[in-house]
A and B are shown apart, each in its own frame.
Chain A
């Protein structure tokens, strides 16, 4: 009987802690999003974060999409050649990159680079009482730290993904026309003829959501970190893991909304 009580107690504790986390995250999200629109707006911080999230992530996202576009062209060519449908390579590479691979892989790479860095930075500020110091200096940490990061994530990830789209498609073009000896003019025509604006838009909308998720998870895990170096390390890990899982699940939902039958 006592074992049953222990089991029930453990289940109860788990459910309560789950509600605590959900409630805390909801409060954090509400406070952070609200402060995006309320003055004072720290323009300098926003520009700095845009530089960090956007410009400094460019090499990572660029290389990821370049190699992915190249590999995708090779894979699609190999599969399509079984049906004598090599002409579809251009279209499939383009649609695969803009709808799916550039936003998802771009989001995951930014989660690894930016999400972890934000969690570590804000986590260190938390454990060294810098966030308390902000508060005592009449500065709202949500306005000063979280809002600029969220704005940077939401605005910069679509820009990164758009650049990633171009690089990825160029990578596919390079492999297809040089290694696979497809006709350059036909490749470009197939890409531009069949690619629709909704394909690009859906990818950019996904990117904006992923930017929000990555920065929110980075800020949230950093803000609630505790226990010194170990706590900051856990916050960085949690930011990447939770950010990545949320990106993949949000991707499914957004894809369903845009293209679900």
Chain B
């Protein structure tokens, strides 16, 4: 049995009375591309934020690179973060910095790389995500949504991280651009040999980028399987979700 690079055991997280993650268990092996699917408000983004240490869990354990996040110092956490890349749902590019400064931010500030070298790497990453080097001096507000997503992807992989998290990578993009992003994710993840964890409710995207898919419902993983098994499963929750049926075990809660 493979040693998981990311492991969540009995993770619970609540906001006030509302339980978001309820004894969540999840394992991701090195080099694997795992996608978590699930409806809105099921705890997908919270899972990612807990993994990044942006939210503190109520109970359970999260281990990354065999280190328990709750038992390590802030400096050790930062060392782990240096091996992780993150693509945010809304890109989260720094609007006060231009494109190449955004991409090279982790190299210059995190890895203390010299500016000239970091700029060369940033432009190389820009080409890898299919953008022209001419936009290196543009600011994020001058780019389209799709271009911003690509720049954010270039920033996420600039440090050649061992783990990459993708938060809704195709949300808000047209189908063609969504496919372009899916292909980029596949190519880049394979190229740098990273472990990838994506969260999405875009089934087509999930099938394209995943080796394994897990479904999150009411704070628990209710199904895990190979990407190719997704449509063959008998799990009623998964079936309802992937075919978008309004009737089934998943109840849409309307306040």
Contacts and interface: CB of A to CB of B under 8 A. Distances in A.
Nearest to A48: B96
B81 interface: yes
Interface stretch (B65-73, B104-112, B212-220, B244-252): B104-112
A117 to B, nearest CB: 12
Contacts of B3: none
B84 A136 contact: yes
Q: Is the interface of B mostly helix, strand, loop or mixed?
A: mixed
Contacts of A135: 52-54, 81
Interface string B106-123: 100110000000000000
A138 interface: yes
B94 interface: yes
- Determine chain A's interface SS by DSSP, over half rule: helix
Contacts of A40: 109
Contacts of B85: 136
B97 to A, nearest CB: 10
A135 B82 CA distance: 10
A128 B90 contact: yes
Q: Which of A128, A133, A136, A144 has the most CB of B within 10 A?
A: A136
A138 B92 contact: no
Contact of B81 (A128, A129, A138): A138
Interface residues of B, number: 22
Contacts of A129: 88-90, 92
Given A129-B88, A129-B90, A136-B81, A144 B109 contact: yes
28 contacts: A40-B109, A125-B94, A128-B90, A129-B88, A129-B89, A129-B90, A129-B92, A130-B93, A130-B94, A130-B95, A132-B49, A132-B88, A133-B88, A133-B93, A133-B94, A135-B53, A135-B54, A136-B81, A136-B85, A137-B105, A137-B155, A138-B78, A138-B81, A138-B82, A138-B106, A138-B109, A138-B110, A139-B105
| A-B pairs, 10 with minimum CB distance | A138-B110, A129-B92, A133-B92, A137-B106, A136-B86, A139-B109, A129-B88, A138-B78, A138-B81, A138-B82
Given A128-B92, A130-B94, A133-B92, 12 more contacts: A125-B94, A129-B89, A130-B92, A132-B54, A132-B88, A132-B92, A135-B81, A136-B52, A137-B81, A137-B110, A138-B78, A138-B81
Interface of B: 49, 52-54, 78, 81-82, 84-86, 88-90, 92-95, 105-106, 109-110, 155
